[in-house]
Structure 1
Amino acid sequence: MTGRDLGYLRRCVELASEALCHGDEPFGSLLVDADGAVRFEDHNHVRGGDATRHPELAIARWAVEHLDAGQRAASTVYTSGEHCPMCAAAHAWVGLGRVVYAASSAQLTQWLHEWGAPPPPVAALPITAVAPGVRVDGPVPELTEQMRALYEKAFRP
């Protein structure tokens, strides 16, 4: 984990906060190329009822349309929360590179349990359980409290 990585993750947390301000779930993500340029950024858009509108899935779709296989493999996806199984599979299928996340699925699952919130409808698996060949870094302790606070606003009953 580098200072540069932390900077990108801080932007993901900002995107997650923006999503929450728009009435959506607090998740935000970036696609960064091998030269360090942010090529795509997005946040969750599930409030309208389409639970598949995750930013990580949007990144995978965008990458296939705009980058060749080598560029995708050399890229890094930064995200506020660890990919769900759907997004982890999409990441692997399109051949994206490294994933760096601020908060893990295990952390979110633990917090939901503590708050008495219902669990998500899909199992909270680590990215590597779905996509074993993907290099993954996270969670990042420096961002734990910020992510916990965003999740609490969104999910605590």
Structure 2
Amino acid sequence: MNSTDLQHLRRCVSLARAALEDGDEPFGSLLVDANGEVRFEDRNRVAGGDATRHPEFAIARWAAEHMTPQQRAAATVYTSGEHCPMCAAAHGWVGLGRIVYASSTRQLGEWLAQWGIAPGPVAALPITDIVPAAQVEGPAIELAEEIRELHRRLHGISE
């Protein structure tokens, strides 16, 4: 992970913060093409009742409509949290390239367990359990506390 990766991950954290401030779960993601251009960005939008409105899923849909298979394979998805199984599958089916995440599924699971919060309805699996050939980098230790704080606020945990 390099300084450009961290710059993009910081934008993902900013999008996650915006999601939380709008009453949603704190997740944000970017799609960056092979030339380094941000092609699409989004944040979680599940608060409206559709639990599939994850930014990584939106990225897969957008990429399928707007990029060639070669462009998708050369692109990088940056995200504040490791893909859930649904998003990992969408990533794999669409043929997107590298994934870089700020916090891992394991980290989030550990934080939730510390706070006594039950896990979600879908198994928390690493991306490579869903897409074995995925090129994945993360977590970014530099951003762990900031991500943890967003999730602490989401769940109303005081420390």
Alpha-carbon offset, residue 118 of structure 1 = 1.6
1:1-157 equivalence runs, <5 A: 1-156=1-156
- How many pairs align? 157
What amino acid is the match of 1:47?
Answer: A
Q: How far has the Cα of 1:155 moved from its partner?
A: 2.6
RMSD after superposition = 0.7
Query: Shift of residue 156 of structure 1?
Result: 4.6
SS class of match (1:132): coil
TM-score, normalised by the number of residues in structure 2: 0.97
Give 2:139's aligned amino acid: P
Measured in 2, the distance between the counterparts of 1:20 and 1:123 equals 23
Query: SS at the partner of 2:100?
Result: strand
Task: Return the letter of the residue paired with 1:59.
Answer: I
The one-letter amino acid of 2:66's match is H
Separation in structure 1 between the aligned mates of residue 25 and residue 142 of structure 2, nearest angstrom: 21
Structure 1 unaligned regions, length at least 5: none
- Contact between 1:77 and 1:99, CA under 8 Å: does it hold in 2? yes
Give a deviation string over 1:81-127, Cα, whole Å, max 9, x none: 00000000000000000000000000000100000112111111000
CA deviations on 1:5-62 (whole Å, 9 max, x unpaired) are 0000000000000000000000000000000000000000000110000000000000
Q: TM-score, normalised by structure 1?
A: 0.99
Identical columns (%): 66
Q: Structure 2: how far apart are the matches of 1:117 and 1:152? A: 11
